[in-house]
Amino acid sequence: MARTTTGRYILAIDHGTSGCKVALVSIHGRVVDFESEPTPIHFLPGGGAEQDPEDWWNAFLRAAKRLLKRRRGLARGIDAVSVSSTFSSTVAVDREGRHLMRSLTWMDSRGAPYVAAMMGGFPSVMGYNLWKLYRWIRLTGGGPALSGKDDIAHVILTREEFPRIYDATWKFLGSKDYFNLRLTGEFAATHDSITLFWATDNRDLTNIRYCEPLLRAAGIGADKLPRLIGATDIVGTIRPAVAKELGLRADVVVAGGSPDHQSALVGSGAVRDYEGHLYIGTSSWIECVVPFKKTDVAGQVASLPSAIPGRYQCINEQDIAGGALKFLLDNIIFHSSHFYSPRRPPDPYGRLDETVKRVPPGSGSLIFAPWLNGERTPVDDTMLRGALFNISMTTTTDHILRAVLEGVAYNTRWSLAAVEKFTGRALEPISIVGGGARSDAWCGIFADVLKRTVRRVKDPIQANARGAAYIAAVALGHIAFGDIPGFVEFDGIFEPDAARAAEYDRIYAEFLNLYRKNRGIFHRLNRAAGSWRPRAQPGTPRLAARAP
């Protein structure tokens, strides 16, 4: 290699919905140490889901300071900072880089009516005007989701409902690019992080650029969007004040980095064509690199830019996965009320496998639908909601807990079918990463439900941080993407069992029926419940006052 790699490290920022993790990672992907800090989320009427970017930044600083204080001797070996962050969490900032309102996160669906109005009209297919949909797909590979959870919907929502904020906005940034702005002072987005603004022509991966006709159709000025770079480009050098506060060298650089999907792909080691990975965090996805560009509208799958230069990736993401387990524990099992105040154990997740074993596969034919916040793929439907179906007098909390894990797996199988139809082949084996992968029981359930060999990547919760570090290591010339599979280790192989798989086949068929037969009910119930939306500026009065 062109430079000495011994003792070289990346400071990786893994920013997720529930918090910010900061890891010290070798250029070969070994996570030396990490720290994490939680961040709150604010749910609002009408589908709002906001987070304060200042909470993100402060969580990063607190976690990084603890980590670097403990690993002071290695801090001088840090060459770069690299960020992985939630996809489609949008931040409006002014010319000085100050955020003007709370971020509209990837769960915020308040822009849905505006997207429907923009993309609708006769002749219509799946809620889209046929000619509008064709134009968007031809240029971008996809198009604005009717759920209103993409960046483009967040920008339009800001323009329509917070016009003073929109007028005062210098740039709209994804959360990863907001971190890079705070680190370097540079307003920039990467070719992959800009994707869900649906404003770039990515037919040629060597020349991804903003598309003026699409911007005009969306009513968004090109001047509101940042310059574009690659994930393995260097954004800039870390700001002196940040370097001093953290105790880093003044010449540390910041790599372009990538959103969580693409970082997890790289961190899982699945960087070659058709190598699938399954991520289980708050949300979940099935993803792989593909050597072609196409779009499957019905399956909600498309070839989109990846973090790997010159390569596309395809993905099917479900809105809530591990978040359903957190919901069950926080809102049901350990929720305090006037009638009962349960004592929460120090680590309830640590008891997961033991509890699940007390219930046979299929959970007594209890079915959980994980659509707690609607769904985005393989159906784009913000009106869906979660359900526990077929409860009986013998149902216990143990049954419900296992049913939640199985319900997420059924939804994943639905997504896998769409991805495998798109790729034209079975993804076998599948590498699993994310916090949910720490559970042996859940990994086994995925293997049986998906009927695929599931390989757990060692330290699965570190996949995003590892991916961010690999991207920076490539940017610095320490490694190549082709080297990464040789660095990745697996600490568990889960093979499907024929008898359990047959039981899950039976229930999975009814899981799909549960969606088909109840979709209309969900729409009738939740269209009325979500019809009112405040036009005040929730969470923004302090900042709105600064706008002209």
Q: What are 93-143's pLDDT values in tens digits?
A: 999 999 999 999 999 999 999 999 999 999 998 899 999 999 999 999 999
CA quadruple 163, 169, 174, 176: dihedral, nearest 10? -140
pTM: 0.91
pLDDT of residue 538: 36
Is the distance from CB of 153 to CB of 162 less than 8 angstroms?
no
Is the distance from CB of 353 to CB of 439 less than 8 angstroms?
yes
pLDDT of residue 6: 59
Point out the residues of the chain with pLDDT beneath 70: 1-6, 528-548
φ, ψ of residue 35 to 5 degrees: the values are -135, 155
CATH of 9-268, one of 3.30.950.10, 3.30.70.890, 3.40.190.10, 3.30.420.40: 3.30.420.40
pLDDT of residue 295: 95
Q: Which residue in the block uniquely carries the two structure tokens 């009325």?
A: 528
Separation CA 519–CA 226 (nearest Å): 39
Separation CA 548–CA 164 (nearest Å): 7
Task: For residue 505, give the 3-state DSSP assignment.
Answer: helix
Task: For residue 63, give the 3-state DSSP assignment.
Answer: helix
Separation CA 435–CA 231 (nearest Å): 24
Longest dimension (CA), the chain: 68
Q: How many Cα neighbours within 13 Å face the side chain of 369?
A: 25
